[in-house]
Amino acid sequence: MLLETKCQDHTTRCALSAQQYSAFNFEYFRTELSHIANTSMTFFTVKPSTCPGCTWTYEIMTMLLQGRAEGPSYSKMHVMLEASAPENLEGLTSPRFLNSHLSYSRIPADIRQKRVKVVFVARNPKDAAVSLYNMMSGMKHYSYSGSFANWLPLYMRGGLAYQAYPKYLLGWEEVYKSKQHEMIVLYYEDLKKDMAKEIRSLAQFLDLPENEKLVEEIAEKCQFHEMKTRFDAKMLGTSSYKSGTNYGFMRKGEVGNWKHWFTVAQNEMFDKYIHEQLHGSMYNFTYQISDVAFKD
């Protein structure tokens, strides 16, 4: 399937090749992966536009569960629901944990029916948008070459990978409020502000014994600059990136980088959009570190 949209300037075609990314083969999840919830696991999910947040959480959880501040022996892609072969997932020892960018309705039924623990990582919608734009512009399989100005309306309409971000967030809010699963919500920005505090919360959620020394060691090991050194070259391989784009899997890792991308008009339009979509929701987003949380 190829999704094509004519950009506003009528000169650039913005194409997304869905067949090149297994996340779009939803029938695959319903059939081939429908039976993988037979052993104990902790399952966590994150929106695709916040991939560093997903990798970040995967690193922290791995270190917490193994009881030492050493990175996993394989990348998060190996245990990513929509990117890994069923035999890889079935071969994991218990307790196992998976990661995914999928909406809840796309998770295989056997996982939804099992009372797994869910760690949900959210990022403020503006930085999330910039992150996804750079990923789509920098990686070959998205085949996108348009400008941010032309891309942003597509993102807001939900015409790109997965679904519109507010719809995704609200879907997982329903899961949280239903109490069908034990679920904790982490914010990317809170990890940036006080990682040790968030690691403690996560350890408590995972029913792990207190270990302040381990928390401090993990917080040091999982600083963004440390992870960027470890991950940029090996996460997807250099063949996945477009030549000349200067894109790395771990890009900036900043809170507030959106200010370098949004014009005043785009910011006002996006604020209105987020308010309309998420007003009254449970989410409190921080758009720069010095800001108090803003309730949408």
CB atoms within 10 A of CB 287: 19
Residue 187 token pair? 């914010």
pLDDT at 200: 97
Average pLDDT, 10 consecutive residues per value, the chain (296 residues): 34 34 45 52 54 77 91 76 78 79 85 87 92 79 81 88 87 95 93 94 94 96 73 52 53 80 97 97 91 49
Residue 166 token pair? 């507010």
Contact between 143 and 16 under an 8 Å Cβ cutoff? The reply is yes
Residue 245 token pair? 């784009």
Give the integer Cα–Cα distance in Å for 170 and 278. Answer: 8
Half-sphere exposure of 244 (CA within 13 A, CB side): 1
The pairing of beta strand 117-122 with beta strand 41-46:
parallel
Give the integer Cα–Cα distance in Å for 32 and 125. Answer: 32
Give the integer Cα–Cα distance in Å for 294 and 256. Answer: 13
How many domains does one find in the chain?
1
Give the integer Cα–Cα distance in Å for 135 and 158. Answer: 16
Residue 226 token pair? 């440390």
Residue 115 DSSP one-character state: -
Contact between 138 and 242 under an 8 Å Cβ cutoff? The reply is yes
Give the integer Cα–Cα distance in Å for 35 and 39. Answer: 10
In sequence order, the 6+-apart residues with CB closer than 8 A to the CB of 14 are 4, 5, 6, 7, 144, 145, 146, 150, 151, 154
CATH code of the domain covering residue 21: 3.40.50.300
Indicate the helix (H) or strand (E) that contains 276: helix 264-278
Residue 126 token pair? 């503006």
Helix (H, G, I), strand (E, B) or coil at 242: coil
Three-point CA angle 169, 37, 84, nearest 5°: 75
Domain that holds residue 54: 2-295
**Max CA-CA distance within the chain?**
59
